[in-house]
Chains A and B, each alone.
Chain A
Amino acid sequence: MLNKVLKRIVISIPVLIGVVLAIFIMLRIVPGDPVTTMMGEHVNPAVIEKISREMGLDQPMIVQFFKYVFNALRGDFGTSYRLNRNVTQIILDAFPNTVKLSLMAAAVAWLIGIVAGIVAAVRQNKLLDRMFMGCALMGVSMPVFMTALILQYVFAFKLKWFPVSGYDSWKAMVLPAIALGWNSAGSIARMTRSNLVEVMQNDFIRTARAKGLREKGVIIRHALKNAMLPVVTMMALQFSSMLSGAVLTESVFGVPGIGRLAVNGIETRDMPLLQGTVVFTTILIIIGNLIADLLYNVLDPRIREGA
């Protein structure tokens, strides 16, 4: 088991390096000199050269890359062009907001998704099932910003239950969390339902029923345990994708999170800021996927005991 975990971790290291390298290269094939882009066309060439040297942009790309990786490993993502602050610090300021938002969204998604999925599976092909699955498909198909805008209009503007934007109180975070979690709730509900329906056809379910167990017990003690395995993995994957998908929700509700930073980085052509945010988020997601993968191994006795 330990061996497997180690092996899985070792495998993801080259992917990590590959991802950082890919971002690094993609951001540097920008036509034109980054300093000129930043300062504007009409700046003294000598000044540009001086700044390039200060930023190490005059060195060969491979040297820059290793410097970047080395600094990143020590937690230093460089200095923002525009804000003239350490990128790591900027990210750490914004990160708690995104984490708070994602955690609440995940709670929404897991709760709604699993409950709706179970109910739908139990009432398979009945009206409630059709209704829930219809909603789930709508949830999956709605652009995040549409959910966000509708929530904002109905619950913040019309009903005045929640503030229109903001992020300092938990109340202000409710609408963004639902907006962000809605999509995932849809896919989790669909998956829970289809797995549960499949598991319910197994022989051990028939046995459990035959020995006189009540239907509730059959579902909770026997079926659900088996059906939830892939769902748990999916939940972990969804969480890490929320961290990156938060950008749209953040922009509608004005939450200053990681996603906003990335968009700012693009709008103001602040390469270190964009690079830092993307590298940081992607690393989080790779770690999230790794955890999801390991979780699956730990939870499924067939994999845990076997091979």
Chain B
Amino acid sequence: MENRAKTPLTVEDLWVEYQIERGVVKAVRGVSFSLARGESLALIGESGCGKTTLGVALIRLLVQAARIPRGEITYWRGNQGIDVLSLKERELRRFRWSECAMVFQSALNAFNPVLRIWDQILDTAKAHGGMSRHQVRERALELLEYVQLDSKRVIDAYPHELSGGMRQRVLLAMSLLLDPQVLILDEPTTALDILTQRTIIDLLRRLKEEVGFAMLFISHDLATAAELADRIATMYAGSIVELGPVDDIFYRPAHPYTLGLIRAVPTVTGEFEDLVSIPGAPPDLVDPPPGCKFHPRCPYVTERCRIEEPKLETHYSEVHSVACFNVQRVQQDTLDLQERYEKYLGGKAQ
């Protein structure tokens, strides 16, 4: 039996739909994964692939027009599971932040501009937990120090007095206030400058190691994922099309879309390489193509791909799964990546 305490979050066959004028947008289609303690999982994909919808669904903060027709989301504390989809509104409020906290993309918009940081922290604590005012203050100062801020100054500041990187750190500190098990980060470093981004990345890594969260972070940026993730899930058209350890995904990708992304992103200090873009554009999620949703853009497409949608199945190892009928052919085209990896490993051994 799996030890549930080590897996604070499991998601089974989750679907999310939006009703719009034109029809139904299938934003998340049959997503399953689990998140282990102390692990960080990156959801990567382009705009409109459903990654943010998935993140928001996990804490049930979806907009009115959205519904979850199918699926299970379970948070585990010890051996006790909380079925999130059946929680009432009041129970949900307790659950959010104390079990699972989400840090949103836009660090400025997340704050109320007329309240001091301290008031926002107090509001959060009041809404979700049972700490006294004094306890909250102590804990808040401690957390602000932890994210390397001048806590005494920041706690009495207004949001506009802080820089983007500082606000992002305040949000991180706030998300830790109620000691959640799972932290969801939506584009945590997007829109930050390089040096600020570095501070946040290093801080997140420290949090993961010292606090032992399970972290799910949503990003369109492969470099942030390479830097922060233990595992990576590639999303396309609402589904996870590949899931595996970070090194497998980068040096032995098995899905044509993952490979396409890797070939399209330059490194800065690596060797100069010619890049290839993925032809076409992401599909319309109201009226997606039949079969594999990637087939109209895929260089490996076969007749079968146009009719049948491949399922996410384990590939050459237990921990790496992929949804593609042509894995063998894709992997033949990754030999240069595998070689580069072996060179790295060889370099380390010496």
Are A and B co-members of a single complex? no
